[in-house]
Structure formats: C-alpha cells, structure tokens
Amino acid sequence: MSVLLTVLAALVATGACAYHRRSLLIWTIAVAATTLLAGLALAAPVTMVILLMIEAAIAVPLLMVPFRRRQISAPLLKLFAKVTPTLSETEQTALDAGTVGFEGELFSGKPDWNELLKQPKPELSAEEQTFLDGPVEELCAMIDDWQITHELADMPPNVWEFIKKHKFFGMIIPKQYGGLQFSALAHSAVLQKLATMSATVASTVAVPNSLGPAELLLHYGSDEQKNHYLPRLAVGEEIPCFALTGPYAGSDATSLTDFGVVCKQTVDGKETLGIRLTFDKRYITLAPVATVVGLAFRLYDPEQLLGDKADLGITLALLPRSTPGLHIGRRHLPLNVPFQNGPLHGKDVFVPMSTLIGGPHMAGHGWRMLVECLSVGRAISLPSNATGGVRAAVASTGAYARMRKQFGLAIARFEGVEEALARIGGLTYATAALSRATAAAVDRGEKPAVPSAIAKYHATEWGRMIASDAMDVHGGKAVQLGPKNYAGRAWEGVPIAITVEGANIMTRSLMIFGQGAIRCHPYVLKEMQSLVITDPDEQLQTFDSALFGHLGFGISNAVRALTLGLTGSRIGATAGDDYTRRYYRKLNRYSAALALCADVFMGVLGGKLKFKEKLSARLGDVLSYLYIASAMLKGYEDAGRPEADRPLLAWAFHQCVWNMQMALDGAIRNFPVRPVGWLLRVLVFPFGRREVPPSDRLGRRVAALITAPGEARDRLLEWVYLTPTANNAVGRMNALLPDVIAAEPVERKFGKAQKAGQFKAHDYLDQLLEAQKAGVLSAAEYELLKRVREGVFEFISVDDFDSSELRAAVTRADKHRLADAA
C-alpha cells in the first residue's frame, strides 16, 4: 500500500503541475519533493529511489537544452519536415491575412476570461444613434416590401434617392472623403434595422459597405483613386459592385478562369500600357445598376512588360461602366428577393494600368487583398442582416402567438408552439450576442478571420431555423403571399444568405477549424513557420521551443480535460458571479477538450485531416459554440447582468454546451484510429455524455418572455423597426400586444357567459354589446375586447387576388417575340 500511495503522490503532483501549466523546472522540483516526502512518510525508500531515478531520467535530458536540441529536437525536426504538408501560397496568404482575438484563448485549453471581460462595452456614439433614430427610421417608414418584391422587383426611385442623399452607401468611408465613418457596431445596427423591414433594402445597403470597391480602395487604393472614387461612392454618385464569382469559380476563388494579359495598345493615338481582359461573372450584387465594377481576374505578363514574372496571379481592377466591351445590365432573380443582382462579361476588353486597385505595383496581390477585406466585411454584412431577421421573428411570432387563438387558447400556450418559440427566443439571443461580438472585434482593430466565418455560418444557419419555426407558428398566415404577409419573403430568401460569401457547407467543413487550428493554436503555426527559417541554428532553436511548449500544452490539456470531466466542471477559480461562474467552468472544460482533440487529430492524421472534412467540421463546431457562449457571457456582463435575461442566457448556453458535447462525441466516435479514439473518450467523457439540452421548463420561460412586453424582450428587439406605421404590420402588432394581454382575463369572463348561454346574438360584436348591457362587461372592458378583436383580425387576415393580378406582365412568349423583333 505504501508503494501505491507513493506512486499516487507523484502522479498527483504531476497532474497538479500539468493542470496549472507549471514549467518543466517547477515540475521537476515539485514531483521530486513530493516523492521524497511521501517515500519518507510512508516508509517506502525503495519505491522513492526508483521514482526519483525515473523522474531524473526524464527531467535532466529535457532541462539540458543544448543536449535536448541536438539529440531530440533535431531528429524530430527532420521527421516533421518530411510529414508536414507544404502550405500553398494561397493558404499561407489566408493565414497571414487575419488576426487572432479571444478565439485564441478558447483554443488554449485554459481561457483567460479577464481578457474577454476587460474588452470595452460596444456602444454607439451620439452621432450614430442620431442617424439610427433619424434617417434609418425615415427610410424604414418609406419601405413597402410588397411593392419592392412583387410590383417593381426593385426599390422605388424615392428609396434609392433617400439612400444616396443620406450616405447609406458611405458608412465605412472616412469623413475626409465625405462618408459617415461609422463604427462597425453602427454599421451592423443600421443593417439590422433595415433587415427587419426588407431584405432587399438591407442587402442593397450592405454590399457597398462590405467587400467591394470602397473597402479595397481604403486599404490599397492610390491617393488619386481614393480622391476620385470615395467621395462619389459616399453620396451614391457612383454605385459599386464587385465581380468575383464565375461559372467555374465560386467559393474557390483561386480557380478563377477570368484573365487579363498585359499588353500595349494604341488609344487616342497614343501607345498605352494596359491589360486585355476576358471575363464571365455571375451572381454579382448591384451589377445591373453599378457605375463602377470591381473585377477579380488572373493577370499574365507573357512579354514581361511589368517584370520578370509571366504569371502574376490574382489581380483586382476598377472598371467604369462605360468601358468599351463591358456587357452589364441583365438581372438574376434571387428567390423573389429582388435586390439588384446579375451577370457581367467581356472579351478582349482593354483597360489602362491605372485601373488596377493601388496601381501596377499591386498586380498579383489580389488574393491577399480579398482575404484581408473579407475577414472584416463578412463579420458585419450577413451576420447583421440575419440578426435583424431573427429579431423581427421574435417581434412578429411572439406577438402573433399571443394573439392567435385555437380551441379558446392563445397558441403560445400549446407546448408544441412553445417549443418553437423557445428556439426562436434562445437562438435569437445567441445570434445577437455573436453579431455584436464580431462587430466589436472589428472596432478594436482586429481582422477576425475565424470569428467572421463563425458568425457568417451560425447567424445564417440559425436564421434558417428561426424562419422555419416562424413559418410553422404562423401557419397559413405566412404561406399566403401579399401585402399582409411579413414572414413569407424572409423564408424565401433564407438560402441566399446560406450560399453567399462562402457557402455554409464549405465554411463549416473547411474554414472554421481549418483556419482556427493553425491560426489560433499557440504552437502549430510556430512549428510550421520554423521550416522556412534558413539559418540552421535559429531554425532548431525555434522548433525546439515550439515543440516542447506544444508537448507540455498537450499534456496539460489531457489532464485538464480529464479533471474537469471527472469533477463535472465544478472546480477551479474563474470569472463570473454566483449565477454565471458555473458557465465559465463549463467552457474551461470544453476548451481543454477541444485543444486536446485538435492536437491528437492533427498529430495522428497530419495533412490527411484536411481531407477529413466531417471531422474538422465537428471540431469547428466546438470552437464555434465556445466562441458564441463566450459572446453571450460578455453581452450579459455588458448589460449589467440583468436577471430578466437569465432564461434566455440559460437556454442558449445549454444548447451550445449540448452541441459541443455532441460534436466532440461525433468526432471521437468517427476517428479512424480506434484505439486513439477510445483513449480520447476516456479523457474527454470519463463518465459518458452527461450534458442535456435545454429543459421543457426552461423553454416555457423563454416562450413566456418573447410573448409579453418586458425588459428582456425589449433587449431582444433592439434595432427592430417597431414604429406602428401603416407599412409596418409588426410594429402595429407589438403596439396592440399589451391590450391583447390585458384582454385575456376579460375574455375568460366573457367566455364563461357565452358557455352559460347568456347571449341571444350569434355575432361576436353583438354578443359583446349584450354583455355590456347585461353588466357582464364594463364599458371599458367592452371597448377593450372590441378594440382587440378588430386589431387581431387585421393581423390574422391574409390576401387574395383576382387571377389577372397574378399573371406576369411579360411572359416568356413575349420575351421571345421581342427578341425575334430585335
């Protein structure tokens, strides 16, 4: 027994050092001292000596750094160089383009929550709030989405002019060029509010402020280009588009078949150095109305007029619409959400070298320019539009479920509907926190490549789920299109956000973990970078430091994952108050589990992991939900820890943790090297899968929150256009909601009288009048029920049309006749 206790003492000391990430020297001292004390106290001298010899055999060679480097690290460096896949130039550019924020802490296995909580609370400036309360409100009041989507297939001229006049296209442009120079948070808030009224308007405003000419010019344009274009873009004198996607290159932008050849051509009697372009682009938002086109293509210089390279690589240029040979103007129709979107093409189009963004010296740097700007633009546009959409779903579905009655009860009372309402409320809380966190990262000067991919994927996927739930709750009301339908177009347009700016399948399976594993890991990138160091001594020193740091990191994460799994995440100092401390501890556990699994997966599978997309997607899910849960906790802290928000936070947090557990379980269960998978399961799930999804009781509380006015619901509806104007049915519904709730006990009293047969009339309003005369209802109660009945009828009504109204104004036969005549 004394032998076992001595060995156990040494193992506990080792585990404690690994858990707390002590240095090798401290581990050596601590374990040796523990072994010595335990051996003497337990009278086990032989065991003590054997253990001390083993410890010395491990520690001494590792502490002798020059020896360690020559005898251990040098051979491993050679092996590492053989088995490590070489990063392509495009992969390296993508890795170099972004920055690492708090997501790096989540990949560390031991997050420093103070780093998260000390970040400033994201807030709008007074100027930004004034814009939101002024021009944005005015624009929302002008929007008639049925007119836009069905009657005009475009925004009406007064909306276009208003957007230009008030510089909606210039939110990211500095004031020195006439723009608004808004923060990313304000940019996000504007898009969210517009998205609650019209996906078409929100998309139209989003694109010029996202990846496109303005963003590219700000970062890479020459002074002459900035001074010419940016003031015009700010006031809508120029309408920009950016043409990247073509028939053979979508998400894989590096496979562009569009090309340009450097050449000389006589223009206006002068020999001009320029580029002859051939391109075929599609899905280009704003292209049909654009006056300036950003174009991505591959540039070749066969005569080496610019230098000694024939293939210069991806390059970006700005082409005026008037460029001879540029064919533009036809439109696509993206799922009946008619934002301006269409193809453009050209063959042997000659442009001067001055059209290159940044000038000739930026030729071939297009891929870097794209990925650097995309990490910022993708963090704002689609997540913000999706967040506006889901916030609107809370407003509309929460109110409708309280108004719409079946079997004498508001449908919000039915458990099936309650389940959908809980998802709408909980996922909206998570989406809003995620959107705000990524915008805040941009405002801190980060280029959040990994968080932007997380935000794009999860905000749009949750948008799809919430839109589906909203349709289910509304039933036939949401199916019948027309001016009264505020949900149908949102449902139709959901796949658009899923597919653009990196299709969601690709974003999840390739980008989130693919970039996160290398970019966020504290050692992997350093190990890979050591391979390109030319000085042998410096290379070995760099690799040795990264390698042994990585080994200690892996051991620590294994110990932390096991310990926190065994204790149910109930130990360890962490952030938060009495309510949230348990949440931070949960995230500590799954951070360690992710770091451990990522190391093992990369170590065992090596470069093959890149092709195991389902495995990397699941690990990416874990990183995503860690980031989202962290964003929710930060938002909760920033809001002053409101008790009213706790059901929303709890539902969304438990859903995130459940998803993390299932993603890890799926990754481990499908790991191809089964013995390694078995070991990982013991370390990560020592007692099996113990997490559970949000309970029915918790879901009931969330559903109750979004179906009645209150401070928690008000925070969910931040930046939703709720002014009860004639064009805003959702605003009018929410204005009526307090009366609907106030009427419920009166309706119960009136219902009892109905069942008792006290009324002779059959019409509801006539019965109300009888009830008032009979003293069943007071005059105020009569007016309340009458007002609610009439108001609710408006919102449960649907549209109908004469058949002639539904026929297309121009049929395909008409198009053929027009084409033949032409």
Beta bridge partners of 75: none
Q: What is the distance between the terminal CA atoms of the chain, rounded to a whole angstrom? A: 99
Find the angle CA(384)-CA(386)-CA(392) to the nearest 5 degrees: 105
Angle of helix 449-474 versus helix 415-443 axis, rounded to 10: 150
Find the angle CA(368)-CA(369)-CA(371) to the nearest 5 degrees: 65
Place of tokens 């005549």: 821
The mean pLDDT value for 546-572 works out to 92
Residue 299, helix vs strand vs coil: strand
φ and ψ at residue 147, rounded to 5 degrees:
-60, -45
Residue 324, helix vs strand vs coil: coil
The mean pLDDT value for 489-501 works out to 91
Angle of helix 157-165 versus helix 199-206 axis, rounded to 10: 40
CA distances from 93 to 89, 96, 360, 515, 525 (A): 6, 5, 20, 11, 13
The mean pLDDT value for 672-692 works out to 96
Please, which pLDDT band fits residue 12 given cuts at 50, 70 and 90?
confident
Place of tokens 């390109």: 532
Bridge-based pairing state of the strands 292-300 and 240-243: parallel
Give dist(CA 163, CA 29) in Å, integer.
69
Lowest mean pLDDT, pick from 3-7, 309-313, 343-347, 598-602 = 3-7
Beta bridge partners of 285: 341
CA distances from 439 to 93, 182, 446, 634 (A): 23, 12, 10, 13
**Confidence check: pLDDT of 116 > 90:** yes
Find the angle CA(35)-CA(40)-CA(42) to the nearest 5 degrees: 90
Give dist(CA 233, CA 342) in Å, integer.
20
pLDDT of residue 375: 75
Residue 724: count of CB within 10 angstroms of its CB: 13
Place of tokens 């966190």: 437
Please, which pLDDT band fits residue 620 given cuts at 50, 70 and 90?
very high
The mean pLDDT value for 106-124 works out to 95
Q: What is the pLDDT of residues 18-32, one digit of tens each?
A: 889 998 889 889 888
Find the angle CA(684)-CA(611)-CA(368) to the nearest 5 degrees: 105
Angle of helix 488-499 versus helix 366-403 axis, rounded to 10: 160
Give dist(CA 57, CA 540) in Å, integer.
23
Please, which pLDDT band fits residue 87 given cuts at 50, 70 and 90?
low
The H or E element containing residue 277 is strand 270-285
Chain centroid to CA 326: 35
With contact defined as beta carbons under 8 Å apart, do 313 and 298 qualify? yes
pLDDT of residue 491: 93
pLDDT of residue 748: 92
The H or E element containing residue 462 is helix 449-474
Q: What is the pLDDT of residues 735-783, one digit of tens each?
A: 999 999 999 999 999 989 888 888 888 898 899 998 898 899 999 999 9
Give dist(CA 113, CA 117) in Å, integer.
6
Give dist(CA 245, CA 433) in Å, integer.
31
**Is 529 or 155 the better-scoring residue by pLDDT?**
155
Please, which pLDDT band fits residue 91 given cuts at 50, 70 and 90?
low
pLDDT of residue 210: 87
DSSP 70: I
| Closest-CA residue to 506 (of 519, 518, 515) | 515
pLDDT of residue 520: 81
Lowest mean pLDDT, pick from 105-109, 251-255, 562-566 = 251-255
The mean pLDDT value for 534-547 works out to 89
With contact defined as beta carbons under 8 Å apart, do 218 and 173 qualify? yes
Q: DSSP readout, 238-255?
A: S-EEEE--BTTBSS-GGG
With a CB cutoff of 8 Å and minimum separation 6, the contacts of 115 are 102, 105
Q: To the nearest whole percent, how much of the chain has pLDDT over 90?
A: 69
Give dist(CA 299, CA 277) in Å, integer.
9
Give dist(CA 354, CA 346) in Å, integer.
19
Residues with a catalytic annotation lie at 501
Half-sphere exposure for 627 (CA within 13 Å, toward CB) = 33
**Is 603 or 276 the better-scoring residue by pLDDT?**
276
DSSP 183: -
φ and ψ at residue 520, rounded to 5 degrees:
-90, -20
Its sign, for the CA torsion 241, 247, 250, 256, is negative
With contact defined as beta carbons under 8 Å apart, do 392 and 510 qualify? no
The mean pLDDT value for 521-525 works out to 84
Residue 89: count of CB within 10 angstroms of its CB: 12
Q: To the nearest whole percent, how much of the chain has pLDDT over 70?
A: 97
pLDDT of residue 814: 67
Lowest mean pLDDT, pick from 168-172, 249-253, 653-657 = 249-253
Q: What is the pLDDT of residues 356-391, one digit of tens each?
A: 999 999 999 898 888 877 778 788 999 999 999 999
Give dist(CA 602, CA 610) in Å, integer.
9
The mean pLDDT value for 609-623 works out to 93
Find the angle CA(762)-CA(766)-CA(769) to the nearest 5 degrees: 140
* Per-state percent for the chain, helix, strand, coil, to nearest 5: 65, 10, 25
Give dist(CA 495, CA 766) in Å, integer.
47
With contact defined as beta carbons under 8 Å apart, do 412 and 418 qualify? yes
pLDDT of residue 633: 98
CA distances from 417 to 376, 404, 420, 697, 750 (A): 38, 12, 5, 14, 25
pLDDT of residue 494: 93
**Confidence check: pLDDT of 815 > 80:** no
**Is 773 or 814 the better-scoring residue by pLDDT?**
773
> Which tokens sit at 554?
């892996």
**Confidence check: pLDDT of 822 > 70:** no
Q: What is the pLDDT of residues 49-74, one digit of tens each?
A: 888 888 888 888 888 889 988 899 89
Q: What is the pLDDT of residues 235-248, one digit of tens each?
A: 999 999 999 999 98
Residue 314, helix vs strand vs coil: strand
Residue 221, helix vs strand vs coil: coil
Give dist(CA 32, CA 9) in Å, integer.
10
With contact defined as beta carbons under 8 Å apart, do 298 and 315 qualify? yes
Angle of helix 764-773 versus helix 729-755 axis, rounded to 10: 60
Q: DSSP readout, 110-127?
A: S--HHHHHTSPPP---HH
Alpha helices in 264-365 (DSSP H): none
Place of tokens 């999840």: 508
pLDDT of residue 781: 93
> Which tokens sit at 567?
């204790």
| Closest-CA residue to 293 (of 318, 314, 274) | 318
The mean pLDDT value for 795-815 works out to 83
φ and ψ at residue 262, rounded to 5 degrees:
-65, 130
What is the average pLDDT score of the chain?
92
> Which tokens sit at 206?
């989003």
Angle of helix 199-206 versus helix 488-499 axis, rounded to 10: 30
> Which tokens sit at 799?
């549209």
Please, which pLDDT band fits residue 86 given cuts at 50, 70 and 90?
low
With contact defined as beta carbons under 8 Å apart, do 337 and 200 qualify? yes
